[in-house]
Structure 1
Amino acid sequence: AVFHTPKYRHGSHTTPIDTDIMANFFGPFGDMYRRDKRSPHVGEAYLDINPEDARALKVNDGDYVWVDGDPADTPFKGWQQRPAEYHVARLLCRARYYPGTPKGIMRMWHNGYMATPGSVKGHETRPDGLAKNPETNYQSFFRYGSHQSLTRSWLKPTHQTSSLVTRRHFGHVLGIGFQADVHCVTGAPREAMCRVTKAEDGGIGGKGLWRPVTLGLRPTNESAAMKQYLAGGFAAVRKA
């Protein structure tokens, strides 16, 4: 499948997960009480997956999944000989059923703080399970890995010439060669191919289904009450 990591402005330039409250609101897996101690923070990163794709992979909404890229160079070259670093770098995240993404396309927002050796140490040794470096207090948004476990940049040669006539981004001043945001490499990684495999059940402690699924609140698992709500059945229009 295609794994793509788009950005939106306020996920890149204001980094909303810097504060606990925004991390909590980032997606459907926020929980200030962290009832599931597997969660790396009061919120966490997730992979958007088409429900039909997920069911074909035997992945339920809210399950933890491994997301692997090309083994030739991801999560890094030579990972086969460096198991301790591979343990940190391999991407593990929640799967979110999202009918808005086409079949064969997986999406993850690119602004989450990645796992580091220190955050993994915290996640595996702290009594509360937080993915927080015990020495620096760096807080990861992942248990393991990140979107960069898969994506790679390709720096286009045509963006690196020193002879192209350019115009500054603001104004009408002409120049030659490098011009920020006009004629330069764009290093933000974006897309890769991926394989998704189920790692753990989504229920608390890795047992059973994620609770919103059992309550009938999730796409393709709607309860009768949710279907009635979506159809506008909770509202009635009466003439005065």
Structure 2
Amino acid sequence: MIRLLILGGTSEARRLAGALVDAPGLEVVSSLAGRVRTPALPPGAVRIGGFGGPEGLAQWLRDNGIDAVIDATHPFAARMTAGAAAACAATGVPLLVLRRPGWTAGPGDDWHWVDSLSEAAARLPALGSRVFLTTGRQDLAAFARLDLWFLVRSVDPPEPPVPARMRVLLDRGPFRVEEERALIREYRIEVLVTKDSGGAMTAAKLTAAREAGIPVVVQRRPPLPAGVTAVPTAKDALAWIRALRGAGQRE
């Protein structure tokens, strides 16, 4: 029996848990950080909440007899990924990082890449005064002092400090292109700010921005910790698990 911990919260993590939850010889536990009030739960056993840093995670792996970890957290959950890498290195537990591919600009796109949201905020005044901000509820402090108007979309209400002039939309993807077109028209959006999250659930805004001819400020992903193995799809993660199970059977 292999005990697998999936660090989740993404659609890829939910699909992976669904594919593995009834697999013979495998026991799966999904862990969610608990930052969203009503998270979309994966199939199977679920724990919600933090571990108390890398040391806490390492101890949890030992206490629960975990044989392998798949980090399928959000591409911008850099602290969680670093903690998983440190905990797995300390315990000798194999770690795989599942990261969906990022977005790529195409013909007609006017993308401006930045390394931080502070850099994004510095770029905005030259790009437009009405901003569609889709960077999450915890990342508004960088924009709080700008004298611009913001349409802020997030799953839960944003945390202060926040911009003085803003409208909040509480919503969860997937989003359709026609819906994003309507938002851009209704709120007279002049610039979109987003993170390079990748995936299809929230990509429609990029198509709508291209059609509207408005610029997009895109935050680059943080780098992965040195030495970790990463794959782009749940199919690849399933192959990794099968290889682990085969190695265990041979032993």
Task: Give the TM-score range, shorter chain.
Answer: under 0.3
Higher RCO (C-alpha under 8 Å, 6+ residues apart): 1
TM-score (norm 2): 0.26
